[in-house]
Chain A
Amino acid sequence: MHETIAAPAWVMLAYLIAGVCFILALRGLSSPASSQRGNRLGMLGMTIAVVTTLLVYAPMRSASDCPPGELGLCSEAMSVDWASFGWVIGAIALGAVIGIVTARRIAMTAMPQLVAAFHSLVGLAAVLVGAAAFLNPIAFGIADAAGSIYFNSRLEMGLGVAIGAVTFSGSVIAFLKLNGNMSGKPIMLPGRHVLNFGILFAILALIAYFTQDQSPWIFWTVTGLAFAVGFLLIIPIGGADMPVVISMLNSYSGWAAAAMGFTLQNSAMIITGALVGSSGAILSYIMCRAMNRNFLSVIAGGFGGDAAAAGAEAAIDRPWKRGSAEDAGFLMKQAELVIIVPGYGMAVAQAQHAVRELADLLKEEGVAVKYAIHPVAGRMPGHMNVLLAEANVPYDEVFELEDINSEFARADVAFVIGANDVTNPSAKSDKSSPIYGMPVLDVEKAKTVLFVKRSMGGVGYAGIDNELFYRDNTMMLLGDGKKMAEEIVKSLG
């Protein structure tokens, strides 16, 4: 065991307070009412952590900055190096401007991409910190005077950099897929499992070797291989599994921060890393459960490929009913309870405002309106809730699957817009269906199902046909989601 330069007690206390603020920030999210206070506490915690670090580790002039021969007389030695300090403040300011401008401008429908991009930044920052600590270990207090890095620190540093690099390259791919720069279809390399396991094993072996030999090539090879494996892990995963991927990367970014916290012996980083790591892991679990899929099978990738497409082609000939916007308007106006079921298609069509308008008109007619959200509707956990909130839908009209499923039986109309797989009744009855066992919204129990869809040809992300379309109580409303909602609004007015 080694002894590092102990930080003063007040510094440790400040980092601890920052960590507690972060816990309270997450705690605040237990209800929308307390959430904003939580977010402010998060900001406070971050301010405490940054200011403390700036005070303790302010850039200092060192004796080497003095002219030779005047060492003892040089008053500049051990005073704050304001030029370097300026650079640091400049770097923070630059980041602040980019961050705030992005946060202000981003469309709510683009949140999944933004979060993926942010994850990649955390990953890259972890790699940079790890690399800096490797190049200048004495400044971090993790090496002896000769520059030999301590055993524990090598291990933590190696793991931190590897997780950071995986987070970075994985998030970049997730970003490209979500942003549409890259096809959402899984890209399957032959022998990818062998390849991935081989690289993972090589990374672990090299980190083990790194604890014995501090050569730079080992450090950089670990970093390079980890970048490669992050890339390889995400390319075979299809668009429908993105909610799991994005949660998983969220978790990784946390573990990277925690590993760096171990290296720097910083409690704020360790607490935060553990919080974020568990948060991402729980979200991944919730998403997997909502799709009735095993986490490992999601990670193995390939879902939503061409295997299922054949079944969809054959089924189109079955009879189905088509309705018009006027029919839909009439049915909804007569209803007592209308449940709106939004999905990713609503986000794509930017229909959330038109849907809200429709709901407002119905409410004026005395119709009760509720919204039903499936946990994997959208491209990230909670995506639909944010879009509805953006369209000024009060959050107490929006319900989760388990809270509203029993109400479909007494609803007159279920209005499905942009959702597909999450309403498929064959998930409950057809054992051969790829989504069999997935919890779905019981929309077919409503007296009438109004299903908005662009055309009859397309299938959902699971690539399978939906039983719902051919039911007697289903009326298909073919057209763009936003236009359809607007036309129904017109017919009501």
Chain B
Amino acid sequence: MDFISILSIFVLSCFVGYYVVWSVTPALHTPLMSVTNAISSVIVVGALIAAGASGAPGAKWLGLLGVVLASINIFGGFAVTERMLAMYKKKER
């Protein structure tokens, strides 16, 4: 992909983010933070590439450590969000 295509994706995503986040109800702002935490760990993709690449051994170890850290975030972030969201209940009756 050339730079302009990537920049286009980025700029449009910023606009999507702006409108989507304003529509989030304030009651769910804490789950919003924990879920954004989880999804920003998509950075694990880069760590996986580094961990799997042959060549520089240093890069491999950095990659593996990155995979561990990002995985803590992914699993922890989604799990804690799920736990919180399960607590929000409507009035019975």
Where the two chains meet, the residues of A that have a C-beta atom closer than 8 Å to any C-beta of B are 1, 6, 12, 15, 18-19, 22-23, 25-27, 29-33, 35-36, 38-39, 42-43, 45-46, 49-50, 53-54, 57-62, 64, 81, 84-85, 87-88, 91-96, 98-100, 102-104, 106, 108, 111, 114-115, 118-119, 121-122, 124-126, 128-129, 131-133, 135-136, 138-140, 152, 246-247, 250, 253-254, 256-258, 260-280, 282-283, 286, 373, 375, 380-383, 385-386, 389-390, 392, 394-398, 400
Q: Is the interface of A mostly helix, strand, loop or mixed?
A: helix
Residue on B with the closest CB to A141? B49
Q: How far is the CA of A128 from the CA of B60 in the complex (A)?
A: 10
Cβ–Cβ < 8 Å partners of B40 in chain A: 122, 253-254, 256-257, 272-273, 276
Question: What distance in Å separates the Cβ of B54 from its nearest Cβ neighbour in chain A?
Answer: 5
Asked if A1 contacts B35 (CB within 8 A), the reply is no
29 A-B pairs with CB atoms under 8 Å apart are A15-B45, A23-B16, A23-B20, A30-B25, A35-B85, A39-B31, A39-B81, A61-B54, A81-B54, A87-B51, A87-B64, A91-B67, A96-B75, A102-B72, A103-B80, A122-B73, A124-B69, A128-B47, A139-B54, A250-B33, A260-B46, A265-B1, A267-B9, A269-B43, A274-B17, A382-B32, A386-B84, A394-B89, A395-B88
Q: Could you say which residues of chain B place their CB within 8 Å of the CB of A254?
A: 36, 40
- Residue pair B31, A29 in contact (C-beta under 8 Å): yes
The answer on a CB contact under 8 Å between A49 and B38 is no
Q: Which residues of chain A are near B87, meaning CB under 8 Å?
A: 386, 389-390, 392
Within 8 A of A (CB), among B51-93: 51-56, 58-60, 62-92
Task: With CB as the reference atom, state the residue of chain B lying closest to A138.
Answer: B55
CB of A379, distance to nearest CB on chain B (Å): 10
- Tell me whether chain B's interface is mostly helix, strand or loop, or mixed: helix
- Which residue from chain A places its CB closest to the CB of B92 in the assembled complex? A394
Which B-chain residue is minimally distant from A95 (CB atoms)?
A: B71
Interface residues of B in 10-57 (CB under 8 A from A): 10, 13-14, 16-18, 20-56
CA distance A95 to B79 in the complex (A): 13
In the A-B complex, the 6 residue pairs with the smallest Cβ-Cβ separation, listed nearest first, are A95-B71, A382-B29, A99-B76, A139-B53, A278-B17, A99-B75
The complex places the Cα of A110 from the Cα of B38 at a distance, in Å, of 17
- In the complex, given contacts A1-B2, A111-B84, A257-B41, what are 6 additional A-B residue pairs having Cβ atoms less than 8 angstroms apart? A42-B35, A95-B67, A119-B37, A128-B63, A260-B46, A395-B89
Bound CA span A128–B28, Å: 31
Bound CA–CA A266/B47 (angstroms): 13
Q: In the bound complex, do residue B79 and residue A32 qualify as a contact, i.e. CB atoms below 8 Å apart?
A: no
Query: What residues of chain B lie closer than 8 Å to A114, measured between beta carbons?
Result: 34, 76, 80
Q: Do the beta carbons of B76 and A98 come within 8 Å of each other?
A: yes
- Number of residues of chain B lying within 8 A (CB) of chain A: 82
The minimal Cβ–Cβ distance linking B93 to chain A, given in whole angstroms, is 10
- Chain B contacts of A92 at CB under 8 A? 67-68, 71
Q: Chain B nearest CB: distance from A16 CB in Å?
A: 9
Determine the chain B residues whose CB is within 8 A of the CB of A81 once the complex forms.
54
A129 touches B43 (CB 8 A): yes
Bound: A356/B53 CA distance, A? 54
Query: Is the beta-carbon distance between A264 and B51 smaller than 8 angstroms?
Result: no
In the complex where A18-B42, A269-B43 touch, is A279 in contact with B17 (Cβ < 8 A)?
yes
User: Roughly how many angstroms separate A158 CA and B10 CA in the complex, as a whole number?
Assistant: 18
Q: Are A125 and B41 in contact (CB-based, < 8 A)?
A: yes
Point out the residue from B20, B33, B48 that lies within 8 Å of A54, measured CB to CB. B48
Q: Give Cα distance in the complex from A258 to B87, angstroms.
A: 32
Closest A residue to B4 by beta carbon equals A1
Known: A128-B69, A268-B45. A84 touches B52 (CB 8 A): yes
**With A136-B55, A395-B89: A91-B71 Cβ-Cβ less than 8 Å:** yes
Inter-subunit contact B18/A282 (CB<8 Å):
yes
Which chain B residues border A276 with CB–CB below 8 Å?
17, 36-37, 39-40
Contact B67 A88 (CB under 8 A): yes
Point out the residue from A88, A103, A262, A268 that lies within 8 Å of B42, measured CB to CB.
A268
Write out the residue numbers on chain B whose beta carbons fall within 8 Å of the beta carbon of A32.
Answer: 25, 27-28, 85, 88, 90
- Which residue of A31, A99, A266 contacts B71 across the interface (Cβ within 8 Å)? A99
Task: Report B-chain residues with C-beta under 8 Å of the C-beta of A136.
Answer: 50, 53, 55-56, 58-60
Q: Is the CB of A27 within 8 A of B23?
A: yes
